[in-house]
Amino acid sequence: MNLDDNVSEHFRLVISQKKAIKHLGISTIQDLLMHIPVRYEDVGGAVNIEQLHDGMGEGELVTIYAQIQDIEKRLMWKTKRYAVEGYLKDDTGSMKVRWFNQPYIADSLKYAKYVKVTGKVTGSGVSAYFANPTIEVMPGIPDSTDTQGVSNGLYPIYKSSHGITSRWFYYALRRVLEQADLRYLDDPLPDFIITKYNLPQLSTALIWAHMPESYEDSQSARKRFAFEEVFYLQLAAAIARAERSATDNYKILHRDDDLNGSLESFIESYPFTLTQSQERAVNSIVKDMSAGRPMARLLEGDVGSGKTAVASAVSFMVSYNKLQVAYMAPTEVLAKQLFESFITYFRDTNIQVGLLTGSGCKKYPSKTDPTKPTKISKAQLLTWMLDGTVSIVIGTHALIQKSVMFRDLALVIIDEQHRFGTKQRATLLENNLGNKTPHLLSMTATPIPRTLALTIYGDLDLTIIDEMPLGRKKVITKIVGTNKINEVYAHMRTEISSGRQVYVICPRIAPSDLSSKDGQAPSAQKLMMARLKSVEDEAANLKLVFPEFNISTLHGKLTPAEKDSVMQEFSENRSQILVATSVVEVGVNVPNATMILIEGSERFGLSQLHQLRGRVIRSNHQSYCYLATTNKVVAEPTRERLKAIVNAKNGFELAEMDLTLRGAGELRGDSQWGASDMAMEAIKNLKMVEAARAEAQAIIKTDHNLVNYTTLRDKLDKQGKVHLE
């Protein structure tokens, strides 16, 4: 069995299995070897059904691995409560399992085949059964003979796909390790890194990963592969940084006394005083743009921390140097709000600011009234961008159209970096007649742990705004079940009667359709989704509860013009309650809104909940956030997760909690940037990330083209470009 052989040469694969391994990126035997287990089950203490029939473990807590069969839910006529029954089967026999008053168990096991069961056995012999055990669906299990062959009871669990199981990988990889010669594997990691960080060689790590002799061996292997993946990401980032630094760029002068005085005067004209964090951010960005290399910086600040004020200050610097700025926002609503904010900031200057969106263009100031913007044609705005008349252009994806060109684009600002892809960013950087590389300032209000930021945004320097503007009060956040909703409505009436406004967020736009083409009863998934509140139903309900107030709705199916109309109405307090989906998550700014009710809050991630709550951190009024759950009583796991929102002091602390509770993959997702779950878990380790970053930068500093690291270079070429967004 050669490492370059196709998997199908050595394994009989049906069509569904071929599709599955292709989906998992597996083609050769070497690819198969690199399919590392996602975790291990400790089956050393497990028993089999035959042993339970013989009386082992009666009345004691025991664990078995088995197939689950014949699950049935029935109503007990005496108690009028549900019982769920089924059979567990392994190579030694079968036995009954029962759950009382837990009807949802039947739905959760509807598609299960293999399970891990832990509980106490009632009775003995053929009448022995499990009563109300805990049960976990497994991707595969060892049979009784496998258990004896698993070293120290560690059974590897592999990532599977539709058509192929973890169990298949388990048997296939045992055979590969027996027949393939691992001596021909080229280890891409340099020897000095392996020695320095006490990592196993590649061949050793593969054996320890798939057939570990001990828990320590399995963890040592995972450490090696996790370091390797993070190292590749950092290496790609270091190469990108080196390539960008070598390009011609704009040097933004700032040491001239007149210019410094102008910047200070500009900032002093703000209707508020910058926080120390904002001042540090402005200084670091200005210093970066004058360093003689293209800046690439991520500005990370919590919701409401004042990133737009920082962006306007550095935009002023670029404009003062007779150069141009492109400010790209993810939505028209946000682009228009940013344009309005820039009008306020630049009202006492002669700097021209433009707005370019799919629904129209504007320019400030207008010729007829220097205090207001004016609508202009797209052609006119493009002409003024090309000749340099307009210094700052704020827009959406319309900024990356082929027809859009700048005379001297020196700074690109991208709001909510993670909402734009690599190609979009690259296109914006290329739309420049000046033929120089613009400086790049990416901004995000999505709180990201430092370890995650260092990895995902490895080619960017990091600036954090960790203060809130003076006078801002912490949002009072409460978790409520459906039995408390009338109390929430009473508080809503109090807030609105005091002149304030309220957001109500729903997970769905319209009610769930329970009809079925084949006449079958709706699935458990459909029934669960039907319980989630929708914008349409909730708006109708609130009109009955609050007939004295105006209620509007906002969601993704509305046209841009309709969205603008709704937001204009709400921002002018012509509607007091805005019922919306999470479309309001980013950028919507209505300082008078002081309360938000999030229905079905358990359906949202912690970072998204934090973003939604940020809609009511826009003034110095006391604000409130209610996290409403779908059920009357909040289940303990849900309550524990939502408590993180209540207890976290800021978004960064919350992000660390989210990383611990749900894993890094929940924050980013491997579909977005190509890292495995193992690498995502590894980046919780700040020391590992910093070590991988330092080693990658040191190598690229002395050997940019990896001439002395051919195996490493081949590995990177095979992976393709790493998308760091």
- SS3 category, 413: strand
Average of pLDDT values for 480-501? 93
Under a CB-based contact definition with an 8 Å cutoff, are residues 422 and 456 in contact? no
Answer whether residue 679 shows pLDDT above 80. Answer: no
Q: Are 48 and 91 in contact (CB under 8 A)?
A: yes
Task: Give the tens place of pLDDT for each residue, 406-447.
Answer: 999 999 998 876 555 556 656 766 777 777 888 989 888 766
Q: Residues 416, 522: one domain?
A: no
Q: What is the mean pLDDT of the chain?
A: 82
Do both 319 and 424 map to the same domain? Answer: yes
550 and 621, same domain (yes or no): yes
Name the token pair of 239.
Answer: 């190469």
DSSP one-letter code for 512: -
pLDDT tens-digit map of 217-276: 999 999 999 898 888 888 888 888 888 777 777 888 765 555 556 888 899 999 889 999
**Span 78-98, pLDDT tens digits:** 777 888 899 999 888 899 998
Average of pLDDT values for 594-598? 95
% of the chain with per-residue pLDDT over 70: 84
Q: What is the predicted pLDDT for the residue at 354?
A: 96
Instruction: With a cut of 50, say whether residue 110 has pLDDT above it.
Output: yes
Average pLDDT estimate for 665-672: 37
Buried b (16+ CB within 10 A) or exposed e, 684-713: bbeebbebbbebbbebbeeeeebeebeebb
The parent domain of residue 118 ranges over 42-156
The answer to whether residues 420 and 481 belong to one domain is no
- Are 329 and 434 within one domain? yes
The arithmetic mean of pLDDT across residues 612-627, rounded, is 88
How many Cα neighbours within 13 Å face the side chain of 590? 28
Same domain for 412 and 336: yes
pLDDT (mean) for 22-32: 91
Q: Per the domain annotation, does 634 fall within a domain?
A: yes
User: For the residues 519-545, what does the mean pLDDT come to?
Assistant: 71
Please check whether residues 83 and 135 belong to one and the same domain.
Answer: yes
Residue 197 lies in a domain: no
Could you tell me if 566 and 424 lie in one domain?
Answer: no
- Segment holding 218, helix H or strand E: helix 215-245
CA 695 to chain centroid: 27
The number of domains in the chain is 3
Does residue 396 sit in the same domain as residue 499? no
Strands (E), 321-418: 324-328, 353-357, 360-364, 374-376, 392-395, 409-415
Evaluate whether residue 722 is within a structural domain: no
Mean pLDDT along residues 177-199 = 90
Query: How does pLDDT run across 119-128, given as a tens digit for each residue?
Result: 888 877 888 8
CATH code of 616's domain = 3.40.50.300
Q: Which of 137, 156, 175 is the last residue of a domain?
A: 156
* Domain presence at residue 576: yes
Average pLDDT over residues 538-556: 93
Please report whether residue 470 resides in a domain.
Answer: no
Same domain, 489 and 555: yes
Q: Decide if 397 is inside a domain.
A: yes
Residues 525 and 643 in one domain: yes
Residue 667's pLDDT is 35
Strand 374-376 to 593-598 pairing:
unpaired
Instruction: Please indicate, yes or no, if residue 320 is contained in any of the structural domains.
Output: yes
What are the structure tokens assigned to 48, written together?
């089999």
CA R_g for the chain: 30
Q: Is the peptide bond before 365 cis (omega within 30 degrees of 0)?
A: yes
Average pLDDT of the segment spanning 8-29: 91
Q: Are residues 524 and 631 in the same domain?
A: yes
> Where among 649, 670, 701 does a domain terminate?
649
Mean pLDDT value of segment 36-46: 80
pTM for the model stands at 0.69
Q: Which of 136, 156, 176 is the last residue of a domain?
A: 156
List % helix, strand, coil for the chain (3-state, nearest 5).
45, 20, 35
Q: What is the pLDDT of residue 524?
A: 45
Residue 671 lies in a domain: no
